[in-house]
Every structure is written in structure tokens, then in C-alpha cells.
Chain A
Amino acid sequence: DAGVTQSPTHLIKTRGQQVTLRCSPKSGHDTVSWYQQALGQGPQFIFQYYEEEERQRGNFPDRFSGHQFPNYSSELNVNALLLGDSALYLCASRFPESGEDTQYFGPGTRLTVL
């Protein structure tokens, strides 16, 4: 049973560029959340996707956007990159209808903005 997978593992971009990160949820999971984890900090909720729509959003600017595909995989897009966007980006999935309250996290994508 495959867990949550993310790609790429590492990414280096320069200020002003745009980036796309990808996530495949755990098998059977239909809800995907994205988190930003700055160095030495806990993860901060960016947004959540369910049935291809953004269901909830944290305190992040519109430069952060996402998408969920019919197969439940998801993308996180960040436009006009800033140095402060350098972080580990984590994807998490769950299957609410199962009644299970646990999120399963992927290994993350390390984004460095120069």
C-alpha cells in the first residue's frame, strides 16, 4: 500500500519565479492538505482540497494556489517567489468518510528560493 508521495524532493528557484509541487495521496484517500514548514518551525496549514475544490484555506496570500485532479492527486503552485517562501512543503491525505481522524504525511518537498 503506497503512502503519500511528493515530487520533486528538492527544488531551487530564484525570486520572482513560479513553482509547482506535486502530491499523490495514500491509496483510497480523497482529501489532500498542504502545509508549509519553515526551518525550525511547525507546519502551517496552507489549504485543503476535496472533490477537486478548495475547502479550507489558511493565512496564505493568493500567490499560493492549488488544484486537485480526478484521481485525487494535487498540485501546489506558488507564484512570484519570495525568499521567505523557502521551506519544506508537506502534503497530507486522509479519507474522511472512513471516520478516521488521522492525516498521513508525505516526505515533503524542500524548496529553496535564492
Chain B
Amino acid sequence: GNSVTQMEGPVTLSEEAFLTINCTYTATGYPSLFWYVQYPGEGLQLLLKATKADDKGSNKGFEATYRKETTSFHLEKGSVQVSDSAVYFCALSVYNFNKFYFGSGTKLNVKP
């Protein structure tokens, strides 16, 4: 079947620290992979995506590389800011992107 597993949070970092949030997946077929971010009281916003193996998605200093050999799509940022505090969701979609499977989310707290 299709599923996404994320590292459990919360993750607490100081400003300017390096961030890694792990995400692994199982999928039937060839999935596209996504990271979404959810700020308090809001819906989900697309952060970045990758549609095939070895693709790197990037946005706002965040990066993630689609690793087919390890079925992973880890999210990284070199220097986090307080404004990055949010919940991050890894997701996959197969077969024409009609259905998305989400991980359980990882809450990030960045302290000044």
C-alpha cells in the first residue's frame, strides 16, 4: 500500500540551527513527493515537491531530495528562523495526483 512515516516531534531548535526532518515512504507505482507546512490556525501550504527520483525540491531555503533507493524525502534547512515554527507534513501521491497520503506531521519550534 501507500504510506508515509515522519519523525515524531516536537523538534525544538535555536534560531540559525540546522534542520532535518526525516520522511520515508512506501508506495505502489512511482510516487510524487511533497512537503506541506501548516501554520497555527491555517490550512496546508505547499512548501516543495519532487516528481521523480533524484529530483531536488527547494523553496524558502528548504530542500528535499527524492531518494528512491532509500525511499526517503528528508526535509532540510541550513539556518532556521523563528518564523519557520509550524507543523510540517510529508506527503505522496500516485496515479495522477488524485489522492494524497500524508504523514502524521512534525511540529517544529524555533526559539530566538
Contacts and interface: CB of A to CB of B under 8 A. Distances in A.
Interface of A: 4, 31, 33, 35, 40-45, 48, 55-56, 58, 90, 92, 94, 96, 101-108
Interface of B is mostly: strand
B89 interface: yes
Interface of B: 4, 32, 34, 36, 41-46, 49, 51, 89, 91, 93, 96-105
A56 B99 contact: yes
A92 B42 CA distance: 13
A63 to B, nearest CB: 20
Given A102-B49, A106-B43, A108-B43, A41 B105 contact: yes
24 contacts: A31-B98, A33-B99, A35-B100, A40-B105, A42-B89, A42-B91, A42-B104, A43-B44, A43-B100, A43-B102, A44-B102, A45-B100, A48-B98, A56-B99, A58-B99, A96-B98, A101-B51, A102-B46, A102-B49, A103-B46, A104-B46, A105-B36, A105-B43, A107-B43
Contact of A45 (B41, B51, B101, B105): B101
Given A41-B104, A42-B89, A42-B105, A105 B45 contact: yes
A70 B88 CA distance: 34
B44 A55 contact: no
Given A40-B104, A48-B99, A101-B97, 17 more contacts: A35-B100, A35-B102, A42-B91, A43-B44, A45-B100, A45-B101, A55-B98, A56-B99, A58-B99, A92-B100, A96-B96, A96-B98, A101-B49, A102-B34, A103-B97, A105-B36, A106-B43
A33 B102 CA distance: 14
Contacts of A94: 97
A90 B103 CA distance: 15
Contacts of B41: 107
